[in-house]
């Protein structure tokens, strides 16, 4: 006889990052179905859905409603860091936990959040290690105008300085803005070696399409010469980008390999789907051991243990509640991503406290700094 638990699902089904949101929601719901169908699990999960409709202010209200009106203590949800930061005070007041399935900019550890996707030492740092030796250290930094773009680009500025390069430009667009003509002109004029793209949703698709057009008129901007690199681009958005994405690079904990060896079991279509799926599977294992597990029980539940997830056997650091993850760099091809590098078991370092300039770029690239 299974014991029934309600769990919150807090993803938008409309708005300009809907594709990412849908991927996460699909991952969470697939995992719920798998747990419910698993005769070996004593847990049955019932989703309590709330749709903030892509409105940043809707998340705190949705989180409060789930925690007040249902028995759910755990919520799988939030896409943007803006929304995550909005719900943390609600979680603290009500004793809830958010399982967060998106890459984020680091520099946060809340007792009320489990971070199941990559932080900068698991995406940004390895991506720059891969890109700088191949395309140089001069970058152009783009972002949507909120915390993800600001913080990712802040770390990128430091990395570019440490690599002896130059930030050729740094520009932000309001969420949802699709007029990218000026950005493209600035990139054409400053001729960087790569473009670091932290635009999200429709802004990002518009930019990639315009950049592909730029590449057709000026060969410097073809992906083999000056790629667009990102830490949040996955399969779930490739259809919206179309052929314009081809050749560009992205880093994440997982890519769905079209020709990969299928070992059976659930194979998510993107790392967003994988991380949301992993969140529910880990939560189900914890509830199976301790049906009353709340936020204060999580560090003990994570200690000395690994959970079976689409990322492999996954450890979660009890101190920071961030997952140890693979780091994969993929290049977009016709039918998905082709893996160009892979590391396994990269422990999280949300505050980049283990960052070492020499290890990142090699001694030779270190800038000479006046005393």
Partner 1 sequence: MNRRARIPTLGGATAYVLHRAHPTAQTLVRQLSAIGLTAIDCWPELPPAALSADFVFFDVDLGFDEQFPWKPGEAPMPMVALIGSEAPGRIEWALFTHRANAHVLKPVGTAGIYSSLLIARQNFEERKQLAARIDALQARVAERHTIVRAVAALSKDSDYEQGFARLRLLAMNWQTSIEEAAGRVVAMAENEDGNDRRHHA
DSSP for 136-188? -S-EEEEEESSHHHHHHHHHHHHHHHHTT--EEEEEEE-TT----HHHHHHHH
Q: From the CB of 128, what's the least distance to partner 1, in Å?
A: 16
**CA–CA distance, 333 with 148 (Å, rounded to integer):** 26
Closest approach, Cβ 363 to partner 1, in A, equals 18
The span from the CA of 66 to the CA of 50, in Å, is 7
Closer residue to partner 1 in complex, CB, 31/167: 167
Yes or no: say if 70 and 31 are a contact pair by the CB < 8 Å rule: no
Spatial contact of 310 and 341, defined as CB atoms under 8 Å apart: no
CA 365 to chain centre: 29
Provide the terminal-to-terminal Cα distance of the chain, rounded to the nearest Å. 69
Spell 204-228 as b/e; 16+ CB within 10 A means b.
bbbbbbbbbebbeeeeebebeebbb
Minimum distance between the CB of residue 365 and partner 1, rounded to whole angstroms?
Answer: 17
Q: Which is nearer to partner 1, 196 or 272 (CB)?
A: 196
Of residues 140 and 337, the one with the C-beta less far from partner 1 = 140
Angle subtended at Cα 291 by Cα 290 and Cα 294, rounded to the nearest 5 degrees: 80
Toward partner 1, which CB reaches closer, 159 or 329? 159
Our CB check for partner 1 shows the closer of 161 and 214 to be 161
Instruction: In angstroms, give the least distance from the CB of 268 to partner 1.
Output: 29
Q: How far is the CB of 272 from partner 1 (least distance, A)?
A: 25
Q: Applying CB under 8 A, which residues contact partner 1?
A: 88, 92, 107, 109-111, 154, 157-158, 161, 319-320, 349-355
- Which lies closer to partner 1 via its Cβ, residue 237 or residue 317? 317
Distances (CA, A) of 365 to 123, 162, 164, 360: 21, 8, 6, 9
CB of 154 to partner 1, least distance (A): 7
């Amino acid at each position: 006889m299974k014991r029934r638990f309600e769990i919150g699902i807090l993803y938008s089904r409309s708005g300009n990052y809907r594709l990412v949101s849908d991927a996460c929601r699909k991952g969470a719901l697939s995992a719920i179905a798998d747990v419910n169908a698993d005769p070996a699990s004593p847990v049955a999960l019932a989703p309590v859905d709330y749709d903030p409709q892509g409105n940043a202010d809707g998340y705190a209200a949705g989180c409060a409603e789930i925690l007040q009106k249902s028995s759910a203590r755990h919520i799988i949800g939030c896409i943007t860091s803006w929304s995550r930061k909005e719900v943390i005070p609600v979680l603290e007041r009500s004793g809830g936990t958010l399982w967060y399935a998106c890459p984020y900019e680091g520099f946060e550890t809340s007792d009320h959040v489990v971070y199941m996707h990559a932080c900068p030492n698991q995406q940004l740092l390895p991506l720059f290690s891969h890109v700088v030796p191949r395309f140089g250290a001069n970058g152009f930094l783009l972002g949507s105008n909120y915390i993800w773009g600001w913080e990712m680009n802040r770390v990128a500025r430091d990395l570019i300085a440490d690599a002896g390069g130059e930030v050729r430009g740094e520009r932000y667009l309001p969420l949802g803005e699709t007029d990218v003509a000026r950005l493209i002109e600035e990139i054409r004029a400053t001729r960087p070696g790569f473009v670091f793209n932290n635009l999200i949703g429709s802004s990002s698709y518009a930019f990639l399409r315009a950049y592909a057009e730029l590449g057709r008129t000026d060969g410097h901007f073809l992906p083999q010469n000056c790629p667009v690199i990102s830490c949040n681009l996955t399969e779930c958005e490739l259809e919206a980008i179309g052929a314009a994405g081809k050749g560009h690079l992205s880093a994440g904990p997982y890519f769905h390999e079209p020709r990969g060896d299928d070992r059976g079991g659930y194979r998510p279509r993107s790392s967003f789907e994988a991380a949301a799926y992993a969140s529910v599977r880990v939560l189900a294992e914890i509830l199976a051991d301790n049906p009353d597990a709340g936020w204060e029980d999580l560090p003990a539940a994570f200690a000395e243990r690994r959970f079976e997830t689409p990322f492999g056997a996954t450890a979660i650091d009890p101190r920071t509640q961030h997952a140890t993850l693979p780091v994969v760099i993929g290049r977009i091809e016709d039918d998905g991503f082709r893996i160009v590098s892979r590391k396994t078991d990269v422990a999280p370092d949300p505050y980049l406290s283990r960052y070492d300039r020499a290890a990142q770029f090699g001694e030779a690239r270190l800038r000479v700094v006046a005393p």
